[in-house]
Structure 1
């Protein structure tokens, strides 16, 4: 009899519990519900962010060199394609340099082809004639040397023994002296010493001149003679400079006399300078002609030997050099032109024809068309939940919540950006085939679906509490409730929580504070 009563008591208790569950399910929206049931369902974790729409590609363009703007081909708002010219500077010089480099390259290639075929007899004859002419030109230079030296000697002798003769007494002796007084004794001493020295110079000069005029000299001897003549002329020039200094300090002499002396010395200096230039020019001409002769000799030797491997290798090097010149000229030309590197819309164009454009100053901006991204700052707390490739849904303030756009994460900055004391990480989303027009600068509301689980045990998050034992729930039993430790998993954005272990489907759990 006792056993039967206990049985009825247990049955009654179960009925009460079941009725309580039914009451809870019938009033699920009532905040005062006491129990919830462990069920199976789906749970989604989401992260909510706000971001800004930006073009997928955006480039600011500038000239690599300064210059005057000559042509504008596109205006702001125009569609441009990769490689299309937008603005250019005046570049006639650069264009001509490129054309010259290209012509030199073609010439080098043609020469290589000729060498590859071997030398023709007529080419050798032409080169021999060229060498003969070059040798004759060199011989003519040497044959004119005696006349140049004789003229130089006469100018030097006239400057010393004619233009400056009245300025000195005893000028042909070892004790020359000025014919006037000076205020600067040092300048007098310099002039007198120079007069004595130039006498010896003229003697050597006369001996050399007589020798060149009377005897046939080798080319090497003529080269040495020219160098000696140049030295003699420089000594005479130095003498005349010191005489001019002495004249400037002359005293107790009639002005007309000093003026005449100065004019004579100036004439002598001018003649000597002319002689120096003539001799120096002859030395340079002979040197250049010798180089030309040697060059033609080498070329003739190459022709006679034929196109050896070494010759062909040298010509290949010449082609490579010409190609490098073409690349350099092409690079210089490109620096005067702004081209679009992408397909897109010209969002900025500040260049004006005739204005000076400075190198490195941005004048043009291009943004991609119909390809947009969204940049948002992801808080540190949500970093572990997200990963590149996560899908997201986006709404734009311009369209409201009814227009949904699909997106996905394409990059996450590894370095933090601190905003209001909170570490965040710049996260970039790509918009996938937007159905509505999108513009840079629009405000985006982003929902990232970080994970979704189907058919898992779930409970409202508020049914689970924490203690020093871990995560616990109060499970309804025949005798009331008991604490049970549970393992939790994903947290849903709808307030539900995944129960990994500790509960079974159908278990009834009391809400916190309800026993």
Structure 2
């Protein structure tokens, strides 16, 4: 029994040893299989932070100016105001353009009405009116032509009146000047017949007066009997004018007599005041001076009256003739209008009128475009940052008068190191 017990005990110990050895071999000598874990791949952002210093500014900034220059008449905004796109900011004075628009618009309406009339055709009552217009134009022309004749007749009568008055004045002036020479000669022969300087000066002045009034030369010391035989100079021209009554002869005589009177007055003034004349002689001398001076004024006035009458006549006749020409043009236009209405408009005329309408319309659009340039509007929504304009100030074309920044977004302006540029 005891032997059997020990035998079983050895077997149990052996089994334990074998188990421990097997376990040791399993843990120390077996091949280790690695454990694997699987995951699903996904796209993600890898963040890298770059720190820089910069400034924040509006994404849109606009400097505003007018396309055309002008005087500022209205200001609707100030610095700091928030505006929407299309808001009117400033306006230029548009009075001239507004008046011009009214003018071209009216011209357009006239041309369009003419085209509509052509396209519609002529109505019977329009032809009747056109015929009445022609009749009226003919009567107006006849009246104007009659008036021209009346004006011409009056001009001739007025001119003849001035020439008749001039002829009367010529006769009187020549006689007065001739008598003054006689008075001067009496004084000369009595006091200045020697060879003194005073006598020579008086003789020279008298010679010039005689030459202009009576003709001839070297008659400075001639007696009155000799003077009575002279019939040239202004005296002859005045006599010719009295005979022919021709305007040219009268005007020539007036000019010659005016010069002769001046020469006679100069000769009378040459008598020295120091000479001891008798009372009668002194009175006669002063009377002749006064008479000659008066005749000079008269002749000058007659010349002026003739010149003024010529201008008056020319103006009156020209005005009357202009009325005739205007009446003729009106008649031609009226007759053409009647013929046009009777015949109706041709295709070419309608086409030409359509072109006229288009041209008038283009003129209207052009002025409206100019008017649009007098208004400055905000192109974007934002805030006004500059507005220096004043009412009445002259704004030049393309010169900034206001600035605007957008409030829709902002951007950052900063310097980034070259090494970090790839990370931005």
TM-score interval w.r.t. the shorter chain?
0.5 to 0.7
Q: Does residue 366 of the first structure (1) align with residue 403 of the second (2)?
A: yes
CA contact (8 A) 2:383 2:407 kept: no
Q: Deviations over 1:95-124 (max 9, x none)?
A: 132133223323322332222121111111
CA contact (8 A) 2:121 2:344 kept: yes
Q: Does residue 314 of the first structure (1) align with residue 317 of the second (2)?
A: no
Q: Does residue 445 of the first structure (1) align with residue 415 of the second (2)?
A: yes
Structure 1 counterpart of 2:222: none
CA contact (8 A) 1:194 1:242 kept: no
SS in 2 for 1:266: helix
Q: 1:196 to 1:115 in 2, by over 3 A?
A: farther
Unaligned runs of 5+ in 2: 1-45, 182-207, 216-232, 266-288
Higher strand share: 1
Q: 1:319 Cα shift?
A: 0.6
Structure 2 counterpart of 1:413: none
Q: Does residue 66 of the first structure (1) align with residue 70 of the second (2)?
A: yes
SS in 1 for 2:385: strand
Indicate the structure (1 or 2) with the bigger Cα radius of gyration: 2
Which residue, 99, 104, 107 being the options, matches 1:101? Answer: 104
In the TM superposition, 1:463-502 aligns within 5 A as: none
Q: Deviations over 1:419-449 (max 9, x none)?
A: xxxxxxxxxxxxxx54xxx6xxx85335789
Q: 1:193 Cα shift?
A: 12
SS in 2 for 1:315: helix
What is the aligned residue count? 303
Structure 1 counterpart of 2:281: none
Q: Deviations over 1:63-113 (max 9, x none)?
A: 62433x332222223234454432223333321321332233233223322
Q: 1:164 to 1:120 in 2, by over 3 A?
A: same
Root-mean-square deviation (CA), in Å? Answer: 4.9
CA contact (8 A) 1:49 1:447 kept: no
Structure 1 counterpart of 2:131: 128
Q: Deviations over 1:234-288 (max 9, x none)?
A: x899979967985996650633332233333323322221111001112222222
Which residue, 68, 75, 78 being the options, matches 1:75? Answer: 78
Q: How far apart in 2 are the matches of 1:196 and 1:76?
A: 94
Q: Deviations over 1:112-156 (max 9, x none)?
A: 222212111111111111111111101111112221111111222
In the TM superposition, 1:34-433 aligns within 5 A as: 53=57, 56-62=60-66, 64-67=68-71, 69-163=72-166, 165-167=168-170, 246=259, 252=265, 254-353=292-391, 355-360=392-397, 362=399, 364-370=401-407
CA contact (8 A) 2:258 2:300 kept: no
Q: 1:114 to 1:239 in 2, by over 3 A?
A: farther
Normalising by structure 2, report the TM-score: 0.57
Q: 1:50 Cα shift?
A: 8.0
Q: How far apart in 1 are the matches of 2:263 and 2:361?
A: 68
Higher helix share: 2
Q: How far apart in 1 are the matches of 2:257 and 2:90?
A: 64
CA contact (8 A) 1:63 1:357 kept: no
Structure 1 counterpart of 2:195: none
Q: How far apart in 1 are the matches of 2:372 and 2:59?
A: 27
SS in 2 for 1:144: helix
Q: 1:267 to 1:335 in 2, by over 3 A?
A: farther
